[in-house]
Chains A and B, each alone.
Chain A
């Protein structure tokens, strides 16, 4: 009796402490996430006032107009998916090598080195590629070996390169973290049971790395969708992402209601995508728990 009341007492105190710990976060979310998104949604039903900005109204006109401007949306979806996959293909072997092949203090150094470029300004990295891909960079060297007159800057290739370069650490790190925690004896067991390296990777490493891979995909795909700088600086404005469309709408043509409608569709799409991601992770975690129980 006494013991159980003490347990209950401890539990309610824990609830109180937990509520206190979470309060600032909850307030921040309400004030700087929920409220701005609500304003965004409200504005998307409004009208553009004659001199730009927002005029109160309730109309679906903006959403109607969206259908005529679908290109940035579909364009962005395809490009972002493609570039995320490229990023994953480049990143996985690196994460695998770092987590399982490198030992000791070298690992720390090599992980740090993956992150170092990430710590230089995004703008500067992109600017460096402008220099490298510009007429006096790589194209000139290609000219010496007889591959004259290849334009690299201001092409979709340059945009892809910039995206892979800039987002690689976001893909490598989560995969590295999930692989680093991996129990090496599982790999040895797989080897001892006669599985080759490929089978071991496919049947042991990949399933265990799946949560990391999924977080990597989400961490890369979402910012790439809203990319603004890379298309402007490396794509010469020819490759048009959703981010560019939105920046134009809010800063140049100042059509806030239409921009809000586009942004709202974008946000809802991303949230649906994440709901799918969460469902998948939950299934993975459950599967992981089952296998670990075996």
Chain B
């Protein structure tokens, strides 16, 4: 009797294991499929960037002519420089302000922190196109008032201000700063509070606690926030479309050339950007891993040190 139940148990266990294996195989296949979906278009772009023919539809042979023509395109190179500086400036500003405000939010007066929280969500929620439009009409309105005044003060020596890189940076930073703030705060919420308490109990100054305990734990959020901010800014079309004035960014250049018709140069530009991106990712990944290894050893050491101390007054916190 008991051997039959054991057999049935074994059978059921085997069935469950088989079910699990099937599930595992299905998720694996699905994952591969989604990754293929993600990379197929990019593969196409890379292949066609080396295509000799002018037409995207026919593969005729290997050539690097589109790279040469992109390299010698004066407007493209100028757009690239503009885009890179806008993205770098707004990423730095967004990371600094977003992280600083995230750290401060728990310690602010409730009215101030709820204002910041509200604005953060509004900045994220307001669609890019509305940010672009609002910035456009605001800057135009403000400059209509400011420019005559500036001309009067400078005696006509100053050229009137207009839309341009500065207005793009203002609008980009608004959005990416909010993103960084949310990322860092999400990370803070999931953070191990006991480490901070241990550090405070061990009489570390707030600054030391921040540098040695808080910041290493927040680093993944800060780094991914900075990377997101840079990417967003470098990639943004719609805000720049409304606020760029005379300054041309890479997306605006690309949009114009796609609308003008087939241009294999676009593929070459894309391939270069992609290569740079992957290299940057690999470097960032290595840095992140090294940082994390150091952080985990520090965290384990701290946890081991704090464990006996934390165990005793555990009831106190409630």
Contact = CB atoms under 8 A, between A and B. Distances in A.
Q: Which 9 interchain pairs have the tightest Cβ spacing?
A: A226-B127, A128-B41, A36-B134, A36-B138, A21-B104, A18-B104, A136-B57, A25-B101, A18-B107
Given A117-B38, A121-B235, A128-B45, 6 more contacts: A22-B112, A113-B39, A119-B231, A120-B273, A177-B186, A226-B238
Contacts of B97: 24-25, 28
Chain A interface main SS type:
helix
Contacts of A251: 242
B251 A116 contact: no
A21 B103 contact: yes
A247 B42 contact: no
Chain B interface main SS type:
helix
Interface string A248-272: 0011000010011001001100110
A132 B44 contact: yes
A168 interface: yes
A112 B285 contact: yes
Nearest to B280: A119
B135 A32 contact: yes
B50 interface: no
A117 B119 contact: no
A63 interface: no
A222 B125 contact: yes
B202 interface: no
B45 A124 contact: yes
Contacts of A131: 41, 44-45, 48, 56
A129 interface: yes
Interface of A: 14-15, 17-19, 21-22, 24-26, 28-29, 31-37, 39-40, 43, 54, 90, 93-94, 96-97, 101, 105, 108-109, 112-125, 127-132, 134, 136, 165, 168, 177, 181, 196-197, 215, 218-219, 222-223, 225-226, 228-229, 233, 242-243, 246-247, 250-251, 256, 259-260, 263, 266-267, 270-271, 273-274, 278
A115 B227 CA distance: 11
Given A36-B137, A39-B138, A127-B258, A228 B238 contact: yes
A25 B98 contact: yes
Given A32-B135, A33-B119, A271-B125, A112 B238 contact: no
Contacts of A108: 285, 288-289
